[in-house]
Amino acid sequence: MAEIPSEFHDLFEKKTFAHVTTMMPDGDPHVTPVWIDYDRDANRLLVNTERGRRKERNVASDPTIAASMIDPENPYRFLSVTGEVTEITTDGAREHIDELTRRYMGEDDYPNPIQTERVILRIRPDELLTSD
């Protein structure tokens, strides 16, 4: 397991978008831009999504995942993580999407209708690639 270097923790405090890659049932990659977060205490990347979305269905059958993000203030500074989804949980997911909404949109509540329920993909980083 790899730890996110402290000099990259600021990426999870900014409006940093990540591109997350999951594996389709036929083995093809599926890439989606997402809001990204980091649980420093547990060393887990967090992706909040809705139950039944393609990325959630993909990691339920194959937990392999990768995320790549670029510093919104410096496009030559990046963090790329390859790892595994260790948990798909609804615990705190609704509150978490509102927290992300405050960071990314400056609004208090997630504005989009929730069709099913929110879930958090908790990602263990196994390999890192950074620009520094």
Q: Tens digit of pLDDT for each residue in 89-126?
A: 999 999 999 999 999 999 988 878 788 899 999 999 99
Inside any domain, residue 94: yes
Distance CA(25)–CA(35), nearest Å, equals 24
The answer to whether residue 101 is domain-embedded is yes
Average pLDDT, the chain: 95
Q: What is the pLDDT of residues 25-52, one digit of tens each?
A: 999 999 999 999 999 999 999 999 999 9
Domain membership of residue 57 (yes or no) is: yes
What's the number of domains the chain is made of?
1
1, part of any domain: no
Task: Tell the residue number behind the tokens 């609804």, with chain if given.
Answer: 90
**Domain span at 59:** 6-130
Q: CATH number, domain at 126?
A: 2.30.110.10
Strand (E) positions, the chain? 17-23, 29-35, 37-39, 44-50, 64-71, 74-89, 118-130
Share of the chain above pLDDT 70, in %: 100
